[in-house]
Amino acid sequence: PRLLALDENGHPAGLFWDTLEGHLVDYLAPADIRFGVPAFYATHYQEIIPVFTALHPAIRVEIVPLPDDAAWPLEELDGGVLVPTLDMLAAGLIVDLTDYAYSDPNFDLADFYEQIWRGAWWQERMWLQPQSAVMPLLYLDRPTYARAGRTEPSLRWTWSEMEADLLTIGAQATDKQQAFLDPTRAIFFSHAYNWEVAHCRPGACQDELTPGAIQATFVWYADLARRPGTFAPIEDLDQETRAREMLTRIAFRDIAIWVDQPVKYESHLVRGQTGVRPFPGSERFDGVTPLYVQGNVIFRHSARPRATWQWLSFMSNHNVARQLRQIPARPSVAQASGYWSVLPRPLGDVMRTAFPFTRPVV
């Protein structure tokens, strides 16, 4: 009561009793949870609701499909599939999940891939229940390599080898051709992470990038971007236009190397002779691939945060993003679903090579 509110007589005030009642209701009363999900995910989440209901009959989950391009009605939802921004955390819109995770005996903290687990934390607090992770890869056009007289890179190629490929291919490119295209920022993160690995003390590298690594990456990019035909100029395009530009250029084989997700492997294969590689490294270190952790949050205004946590905890043990080839957050889930074993061999070789050295973008 002293932490919340006392009345003029020093007794617990109304705010205390309202808060206590809310906690009791959250523990003991049946709950209706509204959970926001991007529309293309909705079916996968609907499939596991009956299993959850059998384990938690007092909790009813309603999946609310939401479009990607619209603002989410956070005040109408208890939680959702969302990677929170710093602005959301600063505004107090997201519930701190640290105490839930460490007090729930059914939430196995040890059964997470370390790099995916780290992606859920900021300033030593857990804001995201990790569900899966997207690991971008490099795709290459084999005929372009052959025309340029370049040997296709190995699984453990270096930044200097990639730069030599870009300069050689770029020098031979026509007006519409470029050597490299990245509609994301993965190449920047990968280069900066690799720079830090080479310059920080062993075991001292942090997930948050240092100013030195960021500056070194901008200098590297600016130097290569001055060379004709190296990087496709898409910096000023919005996300939708970037994606459309990427599809057009790849379809016409105007790009030698590009960044994309593992789920696009087959679609690139059918367009021509396509190879896949991890991000480059150095003679001393394997390449560091940026890892984009996906997960679930509880919104601050939810009247049933503990019931919502039960749903989040349950979801962490299911591979709901299997059709998107996102890596499950838990090794046990990956093994049970056969995630690594069912990947096409060339793709699986690259992902198994790169994944141990991934680093989350926090």
pLDDT tens for 41-70 read 888 899 999 999 999 999 999 999 988 766
Among residues 279, 248, 348, 268, which one has the least CA distance to residue 136?
A: 279
- Indicate the Cα dihedral angle 220, 136, 360, 300, nearest 10°: 120
pLDDT at 29: 67
Can you give the pLDDT at residue 252?
61
Q: What is the pLDDT of residue 235?
A: 66
What integer pLDDT is reported at residue 204 of this predicted model? 62
The pLDDT value recorded for residue 141 is 92
Per-residue pLDDT, 112: 97
**Residue 17 contacts by C-beta under 8 Å, 6 or more apart in sequence?**
none
> Is 230:166 a contact under the CB 8 Å cutoff?
yes
- % of the chain surpassing 70 pLDDT: 94
Whether 187 shows a pLDDT value over 90: the answer reads yes
**pLDDT number for residue 67:** 83
How far is it, in rounded angstroms, from Cα 141 to Cα 277? 11
Q: Is the pLDDT of residue 243 over 90?
A: no
Give percent above pLDDT 90 in the chain.
65
pTM: 0.88
**CA-to-CA dists, residue 153 to 190, 195, 267, angstroms:** 17, 20, 21
Model pLDDT, residue 118 = 95
The pLDDT tens digits for 306-339 are: 999 999 999 999 998 788 899 999 999 999 999 9
The identity of residue 227, as a single letter, is R
pLDDT at 196 over 80: yes
pLDDT at residue 250 tops 70: no
Q: Maximum distance among all alpha carbons in the chain?
A: 87
Report d(CA 335, CA 327) in Å as an integer. 11
CA angle (129 as vertex; 125, 132 as ends), nearest 5: 125
The mean pLDDT value for 201-211 works out to 73
Q: How confident is the model at residue 27 (pLDDT cuts 50, 70, 90)?
A: confident
Q: Indicate the pLDDT class of residue 231, thresholds 50, 70 and 90.
A: confident
Count Cβ atoms within 10 A of the Cβ of residue 93 and give its class: 0-12 exposed, 13-18 middle, 19 or more buried: middle
The pLDDT of residue 125 is above 70: yes
Residues facing 256 on adjacent strands: none
Is pLDDT of 279 > 90? yes
